[in-house]
Amino acid sequence: MRPKYFRFNGGRLVLPVFFPDATRGFVKTLDFLDVKKTGVQGVLVNTFHLWQLMNRKILKKAGGIRGFMGYHGAVISDSGGFQVMSVIKKGISSGRITDEGVILNPSRNKRLIFTPEESIRFQMELETDMVVVLDDFTDPGVGHKKADESVSRTIDWARRSKAEFEKICKKKGLKGDKKPYLLGVVQGGEFMDLREKCTKELVKIGFDGLGWGGWPIKNGKINFESAKVISKFSPSNYLLYGLGIGKPEDVVNCFGLGFSIFDCVLPTRDGRHGRLYLFNSDSIDEININVGDFYHFYDAKKEKNLTDNSKISNYCDCILCKNYSRSYLYHLFKIENLIAMRLSSIHNLRFYSLLLDKLRNA
């Protein structure tokens, strides 16, 4: 049976959990009191970006990223593998990926090396509740040979990451529940034999769980075959983490496959663009997430909203729905007031909190 709880610095959370992205130590347009009031119980911070931005002396003085942010919920960190793909493999920044690690050349006179060990060291300095090993992101569309190379490198980096993690835990005297979770990441692209290989090899190394890595979207939809392979070949006591998952229906589908940890930028990003999530129901009790169309999008920027004084939602208890009209939200977006982004982001996070409540009670 999959784990029922996620332990963190202040206690434990009932799974499943959804963590919005506080990429550089904040959730855009929101403060952490806003986040807490939505029912969201934790956030994700981005290892790769913070590694480049943070002064480590300041981080240590603050007692880790949680103390620095002034946030008291659960905090998880990713490995940095996806960001490496974004800035290097897409040609946004110069650099290269080697067996040693990631070589970065942000400027002509600057050279950085981001190794699996360094990723672990920095995450342990962040003092997050869950640490993820550095992986070599399998490029979408590559052939089997290239995908196999990324899997082999991912497995090697995972082995090195685990060794560094255990060394730091021993040095700090972290044992049992005092240790953060350590998760491996499964790569392999669209090749299910490689996904199986990667999963099995990571299990041999030994982790607290596995993350679904890579780019699962094909033709605009998620291919769940990789998730099925990871779930099938991972031990029943493993946490399964859908990195970057995602859309409400994808969260529901992944949960059905045994995944219980999710993070995504979508609810807050959509909120900032006036795209709000609404359940297709007249009350919270009537929400049925087991039907294909259990929600829809509401476009707050449509001009027809100007004369609509009704609430965004009759059942939602977020600050937006309890206090303001569709007309007023339209007005705020039209004049490009940042309050519109804040209120809409709060609403979308509340939607996700209600969605996760439904999954917990399913």
Residue pair 75/129 in contact (Cβ under 8 Å)? The answer is yes
Q: Distance between CA atoms of 310 and 325, rounded to whole angstroms?
A: 5
CB-CB contact of 30 with 342 (8 Å): yes
Alpha carbons 277 and 274: distance in angstroms, whole number: 10
Cβ 288 vs Cβ 299: under 8 Å:
no
Q: What are the φ and ψ backbone dihedral angles of 349, each rounded to 5 degrees? A: -70, -35
Instruction: Spell out the residues 6+ positions from residue 223 whose beta carbon is closer than 8 angstroms to its own.
Output: 190, 216, 217
Rounded CA separation 76/43 (Å): 6
> Contact 42/75 with Cβ under 8 angstroms?
yes
Given CA atoms 264, 158, 136, 86 in this order, what sign does their dihedral have?
positive
Reported as half-sphere exposure (CB side, CA atoms, 13 A), residue 346 has a value of 27
Q: Which residues contact 330 (CB under 8 A, 6 or more apart)?
A: 300, 301, 302, 303, 305, 306, 308
DSSP type of residue 86:
I
Active-site choice (21, 34, 78, 148): 78
In 108-252, DSSP assigns E strands to 110-114, 130-132, 181-186, 209-212, 217-218, 221-222, 239-242
Backbone angles phi, psi at 163, to 5 degrees: -60, -40
- The answer to whether the CB of 276 falls within 8 A of the CB of 267 is no
Whether residue 148 lies in the annotated active site: no
Known catalytic membership, residue 78? yes
Q: Residue 360: CA atoms inside 13 Å, Cβ hemisphere, count?
A: 16
Q: Which of 21, 148, 250, 263 is catalytic?
A: 263
- Please return the burial class of 292, using the count of CB atoms within 10 Å of its CB with bins 0-12, 13-18 and 19+: exposed
Task: Give me the active site residues, please.
Answer: 78, 263
